[in-house]
């Protein structure tokens, strides 16, 4: 699958953003340019931008991809190879690009079924097809307004603001800063269509565990998400979660976990755990680690892992959960199951359509679908939201400056 002519570097960092006269939100449509938390102004978009993380599709892609992911952090190739072996174990192929191809097809089909005649462009942050390539194609097709869907549901630097920074980079790199306006859908962790696949997956896993002879009181449900530095977590979600331990990132995950457990297994023990940490040991990251948690379980005969932080299967799911966490569980004599990610589940695809429809119709906040005590989240990210204290503010769109 590797193409030797494929570009190996993501677009350079933007030097600035385009701020239209009278606007407070860079590169925004008329509906969001004034920066209100939620917009009820209908907006006629020309297209949708599906934004993925990206992943290698061959052994030769692995190191260039990891250089893109860690750009600006000065990490030598020797250290990157410590992560690269996860990809090399699977012939250098991450499933994430194929997952997004399938999601792209499902989204286009669902939009057509709802009578929403909008083209969908797909661009990745860290590997081909790159975001600037998607925007250049859209601009050449005459697109002037887009609504962006990131393949990440929660608030944090890596799951929200970094997407917004990369959209700014792509606008500058594609020469579209003054001609293309991009809004983003709200963070969708609380949308019932995102939550439903986890509920169904947990119900199915519990049925399998019970059939295997495990009583509910001896089953532990581990809701797993990507660990992030505690400093980043503290800034996630902005002022709404100021002073809350773990910021919006942890609060949002806990809200979703409570909803999933309440509708599938209210009597089964559960906890939120973290995975895939990186960075120097001296830097604190969110804990507990999933493998440490499994090792410390007492009085349990089975463990069910729900990948709550992930929209689709990719390397952190295949390696960190399906390989390492499973091995840890088996070493400790525990029955193990990992539930599916939303992927192309019809409820999730319908949720993405609904998020677009909200903005086309200007749906009032009180009529938006929401299934947790947090939300519906903002249409326009607030100033300072999801700051990365180590890197400082970079040009970003779809939110208040900085």
Domain residue extents for the chain = 192-338
Here the tokens at position 186 are 């709200």
153 in Cβ contact with 189 (< 8 Å): yes
From CA 271, how far away is CA 288, in angstroms rounded?
10
> Does the pTM of the predicted model rise above 0.95?
yes
238-254: string of b/e by CB count within 10 Å (b at 16+)?
bebbeeeebbbbbbbbb
List the chain pLDDT tens, one digit each, 402 residues.
445 567 999 999 999 999 999 999 999 999 999 999 999 999 999 999 999 999 999 999 999 999 999 988 888 999 899 889 999 999 999 999 999 999 999 999 999 999 999 999 999 999 999 999 999 999 999 999 999 999 999 999 999 999 999 999 999 999 999 999 999 999 999 999 999 999 999 999 999 999 999 999 999 999 999 999 999 999 999 999 999 999 999 999 999 999 999 999 999 999 999 999 987 888 999 999 999 999 999 999 999 999 999 999 999 999 999 999 999 999 999 999 999 999 999 999 999 999 999 999 999 999 999 999 999 999 999 999 999 988 889 999 999 988
From CA 163, how far away is CA 183, in angstroms rounded?
12
128 in Cβ contact with 163 (< 8 Å): no
Q: 192-338 in CATH: which number?
A: 3.40.50.1400
From CA 73, how far away is CA 66, in angstroms rounded?
11
Backbone angles phi, psi at 184, to 5 degrees: -130, 150
Residue (of 10, 344, 328, 372) closest to 195 by Cα position = 372
> Kind and range of the H or E element at 275?
strand 270-275
């Amino acid at each position: 699958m590797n193409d030797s002519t494929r570009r190996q570097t993501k677009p350079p960092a933007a030097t600035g953003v385009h701020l239209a006269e009278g606007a407070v939100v860079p590169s925004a449509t008329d509906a969001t340019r004034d920066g209100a938390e939620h917009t009820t102004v209908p907006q006629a978009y020309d297209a949708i931008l599906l934004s993925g993380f990206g992943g290698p599709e061959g052994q030769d892609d692995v190191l260039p991809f990891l250089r893109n992911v860690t750009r600006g952090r000065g990490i030598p190739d020797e250290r990157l190879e410590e992560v690269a072996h996860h990809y090399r174990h699977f012939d250098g192929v991450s499933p994430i690009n194929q997952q997004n191809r399938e999601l792209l097809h499902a989204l286009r089909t669902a939009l057509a079924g709802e009578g929403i005649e909008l083209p969908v462009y797909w661009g990745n942050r860290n590997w081909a097809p790159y975001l600037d390539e998607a925007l250049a194609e859209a601009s050449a097709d005459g697109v002037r307004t887009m609504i962006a869907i990131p393949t990440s549901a929660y608030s944090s630097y890596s799951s929200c603001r970094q997407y917004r920074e990369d959209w700014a980079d792509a606008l500058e790199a594609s020469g579209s800063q003054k001609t293309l306006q991009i809004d983003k859908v709200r963070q969708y962790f609380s949308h019932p269509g995102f939550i439903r696949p986890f509920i169904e997956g947990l119900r199915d896993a519990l049925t399998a565990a019970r059939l295997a002879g495990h009583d509910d009181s001896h089953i532990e449900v581990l809701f797993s998400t990507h660990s992030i530095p505690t400093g980043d977590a503290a800034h996630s979600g902005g002022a709404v979660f100021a002073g809350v331990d773990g910021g919006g990132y942890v609060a949002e995950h806990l809200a979703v976990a409570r909803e999933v457990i309440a509708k599938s297994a209210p009597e089964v023990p559960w906890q939120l755990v973290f995975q895939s940490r990186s960075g120097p040991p001296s830097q604190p990251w969110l804990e507990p680690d999933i493998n440490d948690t499994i090792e410390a379980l007492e009085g349990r005969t089975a463990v069910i892992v729900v990948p709550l932080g992930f929209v689709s299967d990719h390397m952190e799911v295949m390696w960190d959960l399906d390989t390492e966490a499973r091995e840890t569980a088996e070493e400790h004599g525990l029955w193990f199951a990992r539930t599916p990610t939303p992927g192309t589940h019809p409820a999730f695809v319908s949720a993405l359509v609904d998020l677009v429809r909200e903005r086309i119709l200007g749906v009032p906040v009180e009529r938006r679908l929401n299934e947790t005590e947090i939300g519906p989240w903002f249409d326009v990210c607030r100033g300072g939201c999801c700051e990365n204290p180590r890197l400082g503010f970079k040009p970003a769109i779809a939110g208040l400056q900085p």
